Amino acid sequence: MSKVVVTGGAGFIGSHLVDRLLAEGHDVTVFDVGMHRNLDGAKSRRGFHFVQGDVRDARQVADAIPPGTKVVFHLSAIVGIKHYVQDPLRVLDVNVLGTRNVLDAAHKAGAKILFTSTSEVYGKNPKIPWAEEDDRVLGPTTTERWSYSTSKAVGEHLVLAMHKGKGLDASIVRFFNIYGPRQTPDLVVSQSVRKALRGERPLLYDGGHATRCFTFVEDAVEGTMRVAFDATTNGQVFNIGRDKESTVRELLTIILREAQASQGWEEVDTQAKFGKGFEDIQRRVPDVNKARRVLGWEAKTTLEEGVRRTVQWARENKWYLE
C-alpha cells in the first residue's frame, strides 16, 4: 500500500485508474480542477482524498504532493480536438507549464512520476506501426491541431530531462485512442455512443476511412499500473494501445448495432466543419512489442466487447445521456 497522487483523477482515464488504485489498497489523492460524477464510486472509499487545484499553479501542486508520496500519475491535460483548434494557448499552458510544476513537485517529494502521453506525438509519420523510438512527423505551427502533439512532446522532454539531469524516477506511457465508460462525449467513440442512444445520428468524418486502434480503458489502466510499479521501466517510454486497426466506419457500425439504433450516421466534411486548423491523421497503429516483452502486457478487450460495455454503462447512467 503506497501513497499516490493522480492529477486529472476526476477525468475519464484518471477516474478508472483511481478506482483500480483504491481497489489495490493505495492511499489516493486526486488533484483536479473540480469534483466530477466520475468519482461517485471512489469518493466514499477508504484512502480517497480530493484536492481542488490547477496544475498551472505551482504552489497548489506542491501542496498536493507531500514528501512520502510514492508515485505521481500525471494525467491532467487539455484533451480533445475542439480545444486544440479553439484554444491552443490553454492547451500549451496546462500541458507544458502544468507538467513542469508537477515534475518539480514530484522531484521535491522524492516521488516517481508516471507521465501520460499520447500517440499524437508521432504526428503523421507514414511508417506504420509506430515504435517508441520512431520519428515525430508534424505539420506547421500555423495548423493549431499540432499544439496538442507538441505540448505532450515537450512534456516528455521535460520528464526525460528531469530523469537524466536530476535523477527523477520517471516513466512515460503513450496512449492510443482510449475509450470506455465516463469518457467526455466529444471523442469519436463516446460521442457516437451518446448520439446513438439519444436517437441522434453519429458523425462519420470524411467517409470514415481513417483507422484507429481503439483501446478499452481497463486495458490502458492495466498497462499504466505495470509501468508505474515496475522499477525496470525507469527512464523509459511505452506505447499502450491495442494493435488491431479498425476504420471509423467499422466502429460506427458496431456502435449502432450495440445501441440497437436504426437512424444511421451523418456524413461530415472535416475541412468544411473545422477549417484549416484541422488536419486528420489517417492511421495510428502502435508497435507494442516493448510492452509485451518488458511488461507482459497487451490489450485484451475486443472492440465489440468494449463498445458493448460502454453502451451498457451509458444506458445505466442516464446523466451521461442528458
Cα separation, 197 vs 284, in Å, equals: 27
Q: Which of 4, 5, 6, 11 binds ligand NAD (CB under 6 A)?
A: 11
Residues 265-284 that bind ligand NAD (CB under 6 A): none
List the interface residues with ligand NAD, window 118-177 (CB under 6 A). Answer: 118, 175, 177
**Residue 255, all three cell numbers:** 456502435
77 binds ligand NAD (CB under 6 A): yes
115 vs 278, which CB is nearer to ligand NAD? 115
| Residue 150, helix vs strand vs coil | helix
Interface region with ligand NAD, contact rule CB under 6 A, candidates 6-14, 102-110, 126-134, 286-294: 6-14
Give the catalytic positions in this structure. Answer: 148
Nearer to ligand NAD by Cβ, of 175 and 278: the residue is 175
Q: Are 53 and 45 in contact (CB under 8 A)?
A: no
Does 184 help bind ligand NAD (rule: CB under 6 A)?
yes
Sign for the CA dihedral angle at 292, 295, 296, 302 comes to: negative
Q: What is the 3-state secondary structure (H, E, C) of 14-49?
A: HHHHHHHHHHCCCEEEEEECCCCHHHCCCCCCCCEE
> Helices 248-258 & 188-197, crossing angle to 10 degrees?
30
Name which of 20 and 56 has its Cβ closer to ligand NAD: 56
Closest by CA position to 83, among listed 68, 72, 67, 94: 94
Instruction: Choose which of 54, 230, 279, 298 interacts with ligand NAD (CB under 6 A).
Output: 54
Contacts of 245 (CB under 8 A, 6+ apart): 211, 212, 213, 283, 285
Binding mask 234-263 toward ligand NAD (x if CB under 6 A, else -) reads ------------------------------
# residues near ligand NAD by CB under 6 A? 25
- Which position among 5, 14, 50, 286 is part of the footprint of ligand NAD (CB under 6 A)? 14
Residue by residue, DSSP assigns 171-233 as: EEEEE-SEE-TT--TTSHHHHHHHHHHTTPPPEEEGGG--EE--EEHHHHHHHHHHHHT-GGG
Q: How far is the CB of 199 from ligand NAD (least distance, A)?
A: 25
Q: Give the residue with the Cβ less far from ligand NAD, 118 or 211.
A: 118
Among 5, 10, 81, 85, binds ligand NAD (CB under 6 A): 10
Query: Which residue minimizes CB distance to ligand NAD?
Result: 11
Name beta bridge partners: 123.
137
Contact segment (CB under 6 A) with ligand NAD among 12-20, 100-108, 259-267, 302-310 equals: 12-20
Residues at the interface with ligand NAD (CB under 6 A) = 7-8, 10-14, 32-33, 54-56, 75-79, 94, 98, 116, 118, 175, 177-178, 184
